[in-house]
């Protein structure tokens, strides 16, 4: 049962990305102060010349073209801006709200003792600060449309053990869009156009569903 719960929990992040289209990760606990820039304040930081070499050397072994842990590809600007299965990893202009920066700043990534040097962390911070939403959109194109055809297979795989044909806990069936709109004892599972009001997204983001154990 623990193995099944682990598989179910892994899929929860995908549900968040699909229902909300964009979900941002947040780290908790104490964090280190941002490293100070070292003598390059006047230099324009770009992805190609300053950030991509760092990610290629330190990150793409696990998050690259061939291996994409958490469905994250950090080998290209397009891949970085698309983020991971949990959602966006870069919030343009806001490094402290960007999952990518949070993880390298706090020494959580890369794993082990291969942490980035302070000047490398500072370069990533400066790059995110310099981003404008319009320039990012122009560089990577419009976001991909997510439809029920993307989400239903995830629900069938991860959620219908408890909310499917054999069991419908709390009267909730997650097999179809119609059944999600109908909802269960707590009301509709989703509110079209309002992910923040949708019960299914609230449960997933709160870590309540799918169950961890």
Closest by CA position to 172, among listed 200, 152, 151:
200
Give the tens place of pLDDT for each residue, 80-134.
999 988 889 999 999 999 999 999 999 999 988 889 999 999 999 999 999 976 6
Give the tens place of pLDDT for each residue, 8-67.
444 544 454 455 443 334 444 445 555 555 544 457 899 999 999 999 999 999 999 999
Q: Which domain holds residue 103?
A: 47-140
Confidence at residue 2, expressed as pLDDT on a 0 to 100 scale: 44
pTM over 0.75: no
Pair (63, 107) in one structural domain: yes
Buried/exposed 165-194: b ≥16 CB within 10 Å, e otherwise: eeebeeebbbbebebbeebbeeebbbbeee
CB atoms within 10 A of CB 47: 20
Confidence at residue 140, expressed as pLDDT on a 0 to 100 scale: 65
How far CA 130 is from CA of 34, 95, 146, in Å, comes to 16, 10, 28
Confidence at residue 27, expressed as pLDDT on a 0 to 100 scale: 42
Is the separation of the CB atoms in 184 and 172 below 8 Å? yes
CB atoms within 10 A of CB 37: 15
Q: Establish if 40 belongs to a structural domain.
A: no
Single out the residue in 120, 140, 160 at which a domain terminates. Answer: 140
Single out the residue in 140, 167, 189 at which a domain terminates. Answer: 140
Pair (59, 15) in one structural domain: no
Confidence at residue 94, expressed as pLDDT on a 0 to 100 scale: 93
Q: Does the pLDDT of residue 72 top 60, yes or no?
A: yes
């Amino acid at each position: 049962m623990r193995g099944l719960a682990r598989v179910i929990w892994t899929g929860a992040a995908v549900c968040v990305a699909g229902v909300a289209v964009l979900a941002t990760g947040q780290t908790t606990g104490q964090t280190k102060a941002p490293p100070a820039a070292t003598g390059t304040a006047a230099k324009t930081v770009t992805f190609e010349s300053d950030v991509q070499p760092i990610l290629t050397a330190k990150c793409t072994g696990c998050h690259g073209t061939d291996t994409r842990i958490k469905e994250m590809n950090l080998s290209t600007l397009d891949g970085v801006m698309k983020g991971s299965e949990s959602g966006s990893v870069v919030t343009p202009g806001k490094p402290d709200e960007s999952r990518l920066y949070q993880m390298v700043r706090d020494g959580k990534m890369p794993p082990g003792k291969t942490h980035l040097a302070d000047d490398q962390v500072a370069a990533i911070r400066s790059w995110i600060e310099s981003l404008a939403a319009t320039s990012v959109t122009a560089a990577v194109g419009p976001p991909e449309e997510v439809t029920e055809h993307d989400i239903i297979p995830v629900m069938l795989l991860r959620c219908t053990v408890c909310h499917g044909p054999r069991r419908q806990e709390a009267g909730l069936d997650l097999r179809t869009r119609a059944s999600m709109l109908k909802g269960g004892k707590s009301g509709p599972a989703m509110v079209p156009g309002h992910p923040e009001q949708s019960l299914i997204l609230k449960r997933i983001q709160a870590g309540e569903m799918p169950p961890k154990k």
